[in-house]
């Protein structure tokens, strides 16, 4: 395939020039290369995405997976992981997509510590539909659906997923590609539910480059408790970046499948039929 | 010419355009890229807005539908009960679990009728219904609008002479249904 690099498809890139998604795209490709250095084959990394500008990354990344529905990437990702737990599954989601349409999937995936990585492209707007406010847009945000300013308080995604028992929680910034790459690598290698909130300016409808360039900093430690993690991540005048929380806990697929792999360990048709016949004999008695 | 043809020559194409409409399935992990998309896509699985490709994919899905029909023709798609009664006996068309109510009602009332239950509604196994075209028939279903009766008529042209419908949220009651079938067939 004649492409710029092995991880990029031939698809025409339609993100706006200067879009924060480019930074996430680059950082993710770097992360895949780093993971390959650490022994994770790119063929074992599967991706899925929701709908929105973020979702286009599915077409641009030359990796296998499912281009899912609006808000449903996290549900899809959990299915993919259960389908073959030997694979690494990454769900790309938007802030509207994941905190609006698909919030319940995110919370329940965190609750059951599904061993997937959720990368939330957080630009604070529904950019693909020209800039409506999302559940994380600040109070007073003006957009086509809130011309006089949003009257609602925003959600705090990091606090939400920590409350729901996420075991890896971080925040990155699309313009800090080196640090974002490291966060992605750590998140993907973490066994359990990893959530990465990526601050991503939308040059067309919510250009936050100046604010983020000036006001972000990296925390110097990982929270020992969830409370400390929330404290570390809290946005005030400055916006903290980095890994806020990391915990080792049993993961969903191991608890449910008890170490089985339904794909590699699937039965032959003959064996399935034999077992069904045995079962039916029991129930027919 | 379209980009995707140039770029994907010789590679695995998850959604390859084929005569049957069916493309070969691969499972990860493999060196091939396997992309599934919820949006209109090209053969590689990448989203597309290209009207030529979108048309080709619609045609591909239609071909796949027709392939499924051909496959179904080799399978059992209709249950016919009491077939031994012969061609002149009346026919009751029904589907789903209502079939069991009908069979019980016939047994209860000692009514001689064949029962025809398609087990596929889409694609509808029209090829199985020629045998019942010119027979006295009724339709039994749980519906106020007669959805199944209308589907049967649309797909096969069969016009049942009478119908029995129920829509009170309860399954058919055997004694009542038996009486209704007897009256409808008389």
If you write DSSP's letter for every residue of A181-207 in order, what string do you get? Answer: HHHHHHHHHSSS-EEEEEE--BTTTB-
Q: Does A165 touch chain B (CB under 8 A)?
A: no
**Across B54-80, average pLDDT:** 97
Residue B41 contacts residue B4 (beta carbons within 8 Å): no
Q: Do B6 and A86 touch (CB under 8 A)?
A: no
Structural fold of domain B78-185 = Rossmann fold (3.40.50)
Residues from chain A contacting residue B29 (CB–CB below 8 Å): 41, 43-44, 84, 86-87
Q: Which of A43, A65, A69 sits opposite B35 (nearest CB)?
A: A65
Q: Does B11 touch chain A (CB under 8 A)?
A: yes
| HSE value, Cβ hemisphere, 13 Å, CA-based, for A5 | 9
Residue pLDDT tens, chain A, 285 long: 445 799 999 999 999 999 999 999 999 999 999 999 999 999 999 999 999 999 999 999 999 999 999 999 999 999 999 999 999 999 999 999 999 999 999 999 999 999 999 999 999 999 999 999 999 999 999 999 999 999 999 999 999 999 999 999 999 999 999 999 999 999 999 999 999 999 999 999 999 999 999 999 999 999 999 999 999 999 999 999 999 999 999 999 999 999 999 999 988 999 999 999 998 887 665
CA–CA separation, A55 vs B151, rounded Å?
Answer: 39
How many C-beta neighbours within 10 Å does residue A80 have? 24
Tokens of A237: 């005048």
Q: Does A6 touch chain B (CB under 8 A)?
A: no
Residue A241 contacts residue A172 (beta carbons within 8 Å): yes
Report the gap between the CA of B48 and the closest CA in chain A (Å): 9
Helix (H) or strand (E) holding B153: helix B147-156
Q: Do A10 and B11 touch (CB under 8 A)?
A: no
- The 3-state DSSP class for residue B163 equals strand
Label residue B6 exposed, middle or buried (CB < 10 Å: 0-12, 13-18, 19+).
exposed
Best to test chain B binding among A58, A61, A69, A264 (most B CBs inside 10 Å): A58
Percent with pLDDT over 90 in chain B: 92
Query: How would residue B8 be classed by pLDDT, with cut points 50, 70 and 90?
Result: low
Reported for A264-272, long-range contacts at CB under 8 A and 24+ positions apart, including other chains, are A264/A84, A264/A86
Residues from chain A contacting residue B3 (CB–CB below 8 Å): 10, 12
Q: Do A46 and B3 touch (CB under 8 A)?
A: no
- The 3-state DSSP class for residue A27 equals helix
What's residue A1's pLDDT?
41
Best to test chain B binding among A1, A75, A81 (most B CBs inside 10 Å): A1
Q: What is the DSSP letter of B132?
A: G
Residues from chain B contacting residue A11 (CB–CB below 8 Å): 46-47
Q: Which of B3, B8, B34 sits opposite A64 (nearest CB)?
A: B34
Q: Do A1 and B39 touch (CB under 8 A)?
A: no
Helix (H) or strand (E) holding B58: helix B51-72
Q: Does A69 touch chain B (CB under 8 A)?
A: yes
Residue A206 contacts residue A20 (beta carbons within 8 Å): no
Nearest to A188 by CA among A176, A170, A161, A162: A170
Report the gap between the CA of B47 and the closest CA in chain A (Å): 6
Q: What is the DSSP letter of B85?
A: G
Provide the residue ranges of all domains of chain B, joining segments of one domain with +.
3-72, 78-185
- Residue that has been written with the tokens 């009257």 in this structure: A151
Percent with pLDDT over 90 in chain A: 93
- Count helices and strands (H / E) in chain A: 11, 10
**Inter-chain contacts counted by CB atoms under 8 A, chains A and B:** 61
Residues from chain B contacting residue A86 (CB–CB below 8 Å): 29
CA–CA separation, A177 vs A81, rounded Å?
Answer: 27
Percent with pLDDT over 70 in chain B: 95
Q: Does B175 touch chain A (CB under 8 A)?
A: no
Nearest to B46 by CA among A30, A78, A57, A3: A57
What's residue B1's pLDDT?
35
Residues from chain A contacting residue B11 (CB–CB below 8 Å): 1
Residue A127 contacts residue A205 (beta carbons within 8 Å): yes
What's residue B2's pLDDT?
46
What's residue B120's pLDDT?
97
Q: B138-184 pLDDT, tens per residue? A: 999 999 999 999 999 999 999 999 999 999 999 999 999 999 999 99
Residues from chain A contacting residue B37 (CB–CB below 8 Å): 58, 66-67
Residues from chain A contacting residue B39 (CB–CB below 8 Å): 67
Annotate A138-166 with b (16+ C-beta within 10 A) or e (fewer). eeebebeebeeebeeebbbbbebbbebbb
Q: Does B31 touch chain A (CB under 8 A)?
A: yes
Q: State ipTM.
A: 0.91
Q: What is the CA radius of gyration of chain B?
A: 23
Hey, CA dihedral for A40, A257, A97, B25, is it positive or negative? positive
Residue A187 contacts residue A172 (beta carbons within 8 Å): no
Residue A168 contacts residue A195 (beta carbons within 8 Å): yes
Residues from chain B contacting residue A69 (CB–CB below 8 Å): 38
Tokens of A111: 């609750």
Q: A2-46 pLDDT, tens per residue? A: 457 999 999 999 999 999 999 999 999 999 999 999 999 999 999
What's residue A4's pLDDT?
72
How many C-beta neighbours within 10 Å does residue B103 have? 17
Q: A91-125 pLDDT, tens per residue? A: 999 999 999 999 999 999 999 999 999 999 999 99
Residue A14 contacts residue A56 (beta carbons within 8 Å): yes
Listed by number, the residues of chain A in 188-227 with a beta carbon closer than 8 Å to a beta carbon of chain B are none
Angle between helical axes of A73-83 and A103-111 (0-180°, round to 10): 40
Query: How would residue B6 be classed by pLDDT, with cut points 50, 70 and 90?
Result: very low
How many C-beta neighbours within 10 Å does residue B5 have? 12
């Amino acid at each position: 395939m004649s492409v710029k690099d092995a991880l990029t498809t031939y698809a025409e890139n339609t993100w706006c020039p200067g879009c924060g998604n480019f930074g996430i795209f680059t950082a993710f490709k770097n992360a895949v290369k780093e993971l390959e250095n650490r022994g994770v084959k790119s063929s074992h990394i599967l991706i899925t995405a929701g709908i929105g500008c973020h979702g286009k990354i599915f077409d641009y990344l030359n990796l296998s997976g499912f281009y899912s529905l609006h808000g449903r990437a996290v549900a899809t990702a959990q299915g993919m992981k259960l389908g073959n737990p030997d694979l690494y599954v990454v769900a790309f989601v938007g802030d509207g997509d994941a905190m609006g349409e698909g919030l319940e999937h995110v919370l329940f995936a965190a609750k059951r510590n599904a061993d997937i990585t959720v990368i939330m492209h957080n630009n604070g707007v529904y950019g693909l539909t020209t800039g409506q406010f999302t559940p994380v847009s600040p109070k007073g945000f003006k957009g086509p659906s809130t011309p006089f300013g949003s009257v609602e308080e925003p959600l705090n995604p990091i606090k939400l997923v920590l409350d729901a028992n996420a075991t890896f929680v971080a925040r990155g910034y699309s313009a800090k590609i080196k640090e974002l790459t490291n966060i992605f690598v750590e998140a993907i290698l973490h066994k359990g539910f990893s959530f990465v909130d990526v601050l991503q300016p939308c040059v067309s409808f919510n250009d936050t480059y100046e604010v983020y360039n000036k006001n972000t900093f990296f925390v110097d430690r990982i929270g020992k408790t969830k409370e400390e993690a929330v404290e570390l991540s809290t946005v005030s005048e400055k916006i903290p970046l980095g890994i806020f929380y990391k915990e080792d806990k049993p993961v969903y697929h191991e608890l449910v499948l008890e170490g089985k792999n339904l794909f590699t360990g699937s039965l032959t048709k003959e064996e399935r039929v034999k077992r069904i016949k045995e079962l039916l004999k029991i129930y027919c008695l | 010419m379209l980009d995707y043809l140039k770029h994907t020559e010789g590679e695995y194409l998850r959604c390859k355009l084929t005569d049957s409409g069916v493309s070969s399935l691969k499972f990860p992990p493999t060196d091939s890229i396997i992309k599934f998309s919820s949006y209109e896509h090209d053969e590689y699985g990448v989203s597309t807005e290209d009207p030529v490709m979108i048309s080709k994919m619609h045609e591909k899905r239609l071909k796949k539908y027709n392939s499924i029909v051909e496959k179904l023709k080799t399978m059992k798609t209709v249950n016919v009960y009491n077939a031994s009664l012969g061609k002149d006996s009346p026919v009751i068309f029904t589907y789903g679990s209502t079939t069991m109510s009908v069979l019980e009602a016939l047994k209860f009332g000692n009514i001689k009728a064949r029962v025809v239950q398609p087990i596929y509604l889409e694609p509808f196994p029209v090829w199985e219904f020629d045998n019942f075209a010119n027979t006295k028939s009724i339709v039994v279903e749980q519906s106020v609008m007669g959805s199944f009766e209308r589907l049967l008529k649309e797909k096969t042209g069969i016009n049942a002479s009478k119908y029995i419908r129920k829509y009170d949220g309860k399954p058919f009651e055997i004694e009542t249904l038996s009486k209704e079938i007897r009256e409808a067939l008389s």
